[in-house]
C-alpha cells in the first residue's frame, strides 16, 4: 500500500512539472492554432541553460530562472518571427512540419554548443528526501511542483488581470474579430510564443535536475506532452495542467501495480478512452472561428 501511495504522490508532483511544460503548447495552440512539436526541444534547451549556469557559474538552477526565463522568452519570440509568422495558410497542418524542423534545428544548435554527452544538474538537494505517511518524497519534486504551480498562477493573473492578457484571450476566441477591434494579433502571437518558451525553461530546469539528458532527449518528451495537451483539450492551459496531474499520477501507480514496462501504455489507453467519450478533450475551449 505504501508503494502505491508513494507512486501516487510522486506522480502528482511530477505531473505538475509536466503540466507547466504542456501548458506552453496549449497556449501557443490557443492563440496561434499551431501544433508546436518544437516545444519539447525548448524544454531541453532550458535544461542545458540551467546546466551551464550551474556548472560554469555555480548559479542554483532555480535562481538561474531569473536569467533563463527572459532569455528563453526572447528566443521564443525570435523563433515565432522566423519560423511561424511566414505561415499564412493551413497553419495548423503546416506548423507540424515547420516545428519539427525547428526542433531539429534546436537539437543541432544544442549539440554544437553543449556536446552530445549525457549530463545532469547535480545539485546538493537533488537526492534529498523527507518522509511523509511512510513514503520518502524527494524535495526537488516538491520544489518543482511549487514552482510549476506558481508559474501557472502567474500566467492566470497575466491572462485575466491585464490588458495584454485580455488581448491574448480575445485572439484565442476569435482572431479575426480581435484584429477588427484593433488588437495586433501578430504581436500577441510572438509574445505568446515567447511565454511558452519561458514556461519551457521552468520545466526544463526541473527536468534537468531529476533526469539525465542530452540534445536528443526531446524525443522522449514530445509524445507525452502532446498526449497531455490533447487529453486536457487543445488550447486549454488549465486542462493541460490537470491532465498532466492525472495521467502522470496514473502512470506511476500503474508502474507499481503492473510493471514499468507497461506504464507508458497508460498514456495511449487514456487518450483513446477520452477521444472516444469526449473527442474535444476534458477541458476544451469554446472557440468561434468566424464572426
Q: What pLDDT is attached to residue 280?
A: 78
pLDDT lower than 70: segments of the chain: 1, 133-134, 284-291
Class of residue 53 by CB neighbours under 10 A (exposed 0-12, middle 13-18, buried 19+): buried
Q: What pLDDT is attached to residue 51?
A: 97
**SS3 call for 237:** helix
Hey, what domains does the chain have and what are their CATH numbers? 2-277 (1.10.3470)
DSSP state of 280: T
- CA–CA distance, 201 with 215 (Å, rounded to integer): 15
Q: Which grid cell is 94?
A: 503546416
**SS3 call for 136:** strand
**SS3 call for 174:** coil
CA 189 distance to own-chain centroid:
17
**SS3 call for 179:** helix
Q: What pLDDT is attached to residue 45?
A: 97
**SS3 call for 215:** helix
Q: What pLDDT is attached to residue 288?
A: 45
Q: What pLDDT is attached to residue 236?
A: 86
- How many residues would you count in the chain? 291
Amino acid at each position: 500500500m505504501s508503494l502505491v501511495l508513494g507512486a501516487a504522490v510522486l506522480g502528482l508532483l511530477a505531473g505538475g512539472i509536466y503540466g507547466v511544460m504542456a501548458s506552453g503548447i496549449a497556449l501557443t495552440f490557443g492563440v496561434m492554432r499551431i501544433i508546436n512539436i518544437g516545444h519539447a526541444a525548448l524544454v531541453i534547451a532550458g535544461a542545458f541553460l540551467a546546466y551551464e549556469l550551474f556548472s560554469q557559474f555555480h548559479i542554483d538552477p532555480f535562481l538561474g530562472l531569473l536569467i533563463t526565463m527572459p532569455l528563453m522568452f526572447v528566443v521564443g519570440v525570435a523563433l515565432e518571427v522566423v519560423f511561424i509568422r511566414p505561415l499564412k495558410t493551413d497553419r495548423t497542418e503546416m506548423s507540424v512540419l515547420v516545428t519539427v524542423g525547428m526542433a531539429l534545428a534546436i537539437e543541432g544548435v544544442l549539440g554544437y554548443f553543449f556536446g552530445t554527452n549525457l549530463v545532469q544538474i547535480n545539485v546538493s538537494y537533488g537526492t534529498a528526501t523527507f518522509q511523509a505517511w511512510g513514503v520518502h518524497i524527494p524535495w526537488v519534486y516538491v520544489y518543482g511542483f511549487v514552482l510549476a504551480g506558481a508559474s501557472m498562477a502567474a500566467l492566470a493573473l497575466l491572462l485575466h488581470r491585464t490588458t495584454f492578457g485580455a488581448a491574448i484571450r480575445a485572439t484565442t476566441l476569435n482572431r479575426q474579430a480581435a484584429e477588427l477591434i484593433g488588437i495586433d494579433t501578430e504581436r500577441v502571437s510572438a509574445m505568446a510564443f515567447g511565454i511558452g518558451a519561458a514556461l519551457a525553461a521552468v520545466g526544463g530546469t526541473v527536468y534537468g535536475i531529476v533526469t539525465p539528458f542530452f540534445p536528443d532527449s526531446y524525443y522522449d518528451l514530445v509524445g507525452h506532452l502532446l498526449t497531455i495537451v490533447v487529453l486536457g483539450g487543445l488550447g486549454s492551459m488549465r486542462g493541460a495542467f490537470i491532465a498532466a496531474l492525472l495521467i502522470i499520477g496514473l502512470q506511476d501507480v500503474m508502474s507499481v501495480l503492473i510493471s514499468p514496462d507497461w506504464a507508458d501504455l497508460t498514456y495511449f489507453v487514456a487518450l483513446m478512452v477520452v477521444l472516444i467519450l469526449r473527442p474535444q478533450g476534458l477541458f476544451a475551449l469554446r472557440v468561434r472561428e468566424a464572426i
